[in-house]
Amino acid sequence: MPIIKYPRVREPLFYEWDRKAQKCGLRHTIYAVNGDQYTGEWLDNLKHGKGTQIWKSTGAIYSGDWKFGKRDGYGSYSILDPVTKEHKIVYTGWWENDQRCGQGMFLYPNGEHYDGEWSNGLRSGWGTMRYNDGSTYEGQWLTDQPNGKGVLRLPNGNWYEGGWKDGKKHGPGKYFYSDKRRLLEGIWVADIPKCGALVDFGRENAPDPTESQLPEIKLRDPAGVLAEAKAMFDDSHN
């Protein structure tokens, strides 16, 4: 009986070519169709490990960790200065899923900078913001705005410490007038003090004291005042 030989089944050549084309491990610079370039490590044809990406359209550079094609881990992001034509770092810190996340420092174009926690590319958590007018805010953030507890220090030496909501003073707080040596303690709603008590503290050592000392104020119905303030504060949260 004759022996029948069947031809060996072979997969199409393009499967083999595709496997050979898969980028894996350390590679030299790879250029994309749009002109972007990447130098670094790969895994299964994705940027993975340490690497540097340069975007042709903006000239921006990211150098740091990658995970399955996205910025993930620790890295720095630089932009091209249109005047000096030199790169300057605008963010150094942690990334997750291609966005700023965790601890990091960001330098804004106007010279202001933030050092603190991030989530989904926005300031969230605890952080310090230094503004170009000389003021500083240190405290809690949520979705890019002061939210929670924080302290705002002004260039003239005055400062506020207390509650914040959507970037505005909100809730119980204290405002210190360092030049007058006076303290306003009360409740704020959307940056406006709704009620409180203004008292002197160390007025004899004030750089610019007021002409007269504040008289002692005794409320006839302190419980009623506090209840009204609390109701106003609760309404603003509803």
Report the C-alpha gap between 103 and 98 in whole angstroms. 15
Q: Would you call 216 exposed, middle or buried from its count of C-beta atoms within 10 A (0-12, 13-18, 19+)?
A: exposed
Determine contact, residues 138/148, Cβ cutoff 8 Å.
no
What's residue 202's pLDDT?
66
Give Cβ neighbours of residue 48 (< 8 Å, ≥ 6 apart).
41, 42, 66, 67, 68, 69
Q: pLDDT tens, 44-87?
A: 889 999 999 999 999 999 999 999 999 999 999 999 988 888 99
Q: pLDDT tens, 106-138?
A: 999 999 999 999 999 999 999 999 999 999 999
Buried b vs exposed e over 61-86: b needs ≥16 C-beta within 10 Å?
bbbbbbbeebbbeebbbbbeeeeeee
What global pTM score does this model have? 0.75
88 C-beta neighbours (distance < 10 Å), count? 11
Inform me whether the pLDDT recorded for 12 exceeds 50. Answer: yes
Q: Dihedral sign for Cα 22, 26, 27, 31, please.
A: positive
Q: pLDDT tens, 169-209?
A: 999 999 999 888 889 999 999 999 999 898 887 666 655 56
Which residues face 7 on adjacent strands? none
φ, ψ of residue 20 to 5 degrees: the values are -70, -30
Inform me whether the pLDDT recorded for 212 exceeds 60. Answer: no
**DSSP states of 45-83 as a string?**
TEEEEEEEEE-TTT--EEEEEEETTEEEEEEEEEEE-TT
Inform me whether the pLDDT recorded for 28 exceeds 80. Answer: no
Q: Would you call 98 exposed, middle or buried from its count of C-beta atoms within 10 A (0-12, 13-18, 19+)?
A: middle
